Amino acid sequence: MDEDMMKFCPDHVVDRGEQMREPDEVAAMLRLKALGWGVRRIARELGCSHMTVRRYLAAGGWTAYQKPERPRMLDGLEDWLAERFRQHRGNADVVRQELAREHGLVVSLRTVERAVAPLRQALQAEARATVRFETPPGRQLQIDFGETRVVIGGEATRLYLFVATLGYSRRCYVQAFRHERQSAWFDGVEGAFAHFGGIVQEVLLDNARALVDHHDAATREVRFNARFQAFARYWGFRPRACAPYRARTKGKDERGVGYVKRNAIAGHIFASWAALEAHLVWWMREIADERVHGTTGEPPVQRFRREEASALRPIAGRPPFRQVRDLARRVQSDCCIEVDTNAYSVPWRLIGETVRAVIAGGRISIRHGGQEVAVHPECAGRRQRLIEPAHFSGMSPVSSLLRSAAPPREAPPPAALLRPLAEYEQLVGGGW
């Protein structure tokens, strides 16, 4: 009878209600059996079931308990789960819905979460991972805003810190604002250019709503705000937006914002807004520029002066963008565009084309296809015409256009081809 029962008790199955025995207890069973003890006597001595003794004796020693494998509902769908889990950015509930819709499997959310647990860990590790890359001198400026609170004039004030960091030297620029609107972004970038004494080739930014209208996470298609595009064209840099939900790709500046909060702001109280701005100027010059950077191993200002300052493009006295107007105008049939009721000529071959009129510093620069095609001083009055005769070169006739810009003169004599009225009288008969 005992032998038959052992057939139905596999080595890896533990008797129901019976606990696993320790290895030294199993060794004692084997020694007692070698001394000639019976199975039931050994069981009474060790306080366990005789079936437990028989199982260990049949196994010849202690064996670890193995839970029997049970078939799972999601077996065979590992690749499908991994693909959908990444597609839906770790949303297990959406994966559960698609399981029911595509495979007819109705399972609980907890079942799906257990199945994708290793995938979630990998996805989180991937999100935390940051690939460090270095940019050559003058190539990149990373910008960002950070929000904090500080006591100014005895009152807790919400503060928005604009932080710009040069990609090569790690030299930073900080400016405080009371808001994070588009004008603050523009003023911050222009302040950084003035502080560094030049313009970089590209500006890397987060997907701020003030600057980016749309950024598709899958296709990486970016649509920048139209005014921000005009701002970038004016200063001549290329805007770049880091991947959505991946602000860590803008790592230098992400760490820079935290550094400014912890080092320049934390624990300080300021008597006024002017005192705050003066403190930031002092902090940039005496602390941020002179510290030994953890990555480069040297002060940012030394690395900047030695290699990066000369790589920046000069500002050349260009006024701030907000003092500049960038307009789109269509060239009329008289070879002119109209700005504030005044007409300015352009080459006649551009009739019907759309051009850009950039107004700054008392001058109007008219551009087409990225090239400057005409320059005029800005008229102070109204309804005036500024005509450049060279713009009509090769066009026939040109005299009528030139006369329209000249002061009125005496009416010209009748053309020789006009007939006297007497001749018309003879043709129609009668008199007038």
Q: Are 286 and 299 in contact (CB under 8 A)?
A: no
Instruction: Work out the percent of the chain whose per-residue pLDDT is above 70.
Output: 80
In one letter, which amino acid is 134? E
In one letter, which amino acid is 336? C
CA separation for the pair 305, 168 (Å, rounded): 11
- Residue 365 has a pLDDT of 92
How many CB atoms sit inside 10 A of residue 142's CB? 26
How many CB atoms sit inside 10 A of residue 91's CB? 13
- pLDDT tens for 183-196 read 999 999 999 999 99
- Residue 171 has a pLDDT of 94
- Residue 157 has a pLDDT of 93
Burial environment of residue 261 by CB neighbours within 10 A (0 to 12, 13 to 18, 19 or more):
middle
User: If pLDDT is split at 50, 70 and 90, which confidence band does 417 have?
Assistant: very low
- pLDDT tens for 316-362 read 888 888 887 888 999 999 999 999 889 999 999 999 999 999 887 77
- Residue 4 has a pLDDT of 44
Answer whether residue 272 shows pLDDT above 70: yes
User: If pLDDT is split at 50, 70 and 90, which confidence band does 206 have?
Assistant: confident
- Residue 215 has a pLDDT of 76
The CATH fold assigned to 140-311 is: Nucleotidyltransferase; domain 5 (3.30.420)
Q: Determine the straight-line distance between the first and last CA of the chain, rounded to whole angstroms.
A: 147
In one letter, which amino acid is 392? F
Token match 């026939």: residue?
A: 396
The CATH fold assigned to 2-59 is: Arc Repressor Mutant, subunit A (1.10.10)
CA separation for the pair 228, 138 (Å, rounded): 21
- Residue 128 has a pLDDT of 58
Burial environment of residue 30 by CB neighbours within 10 A (0 to 12, 13 to 18, 19 or more):
middle
Answer whether residue 133 shows pLDDT above 50: yes
- Residue 303 has a pLDDT of 94
DSSP assignments along 309-348, one per residue: GGGSBP-TTPPPGGG-EEEEEE--TTSEEEETTEEEE--G
- Residue 12 has a pLDDT of 41
Least confident span in 4-8, 50-54, 100-104, 177-181? 4-8
- pLDDT tens for 385-411 read 999 999 988 876 544 444 454 444 344
How many CB atoms sit inside 10 A of residue 103's CB? 13
CA separation for the pair 210, 185 (Å, rounded): 8
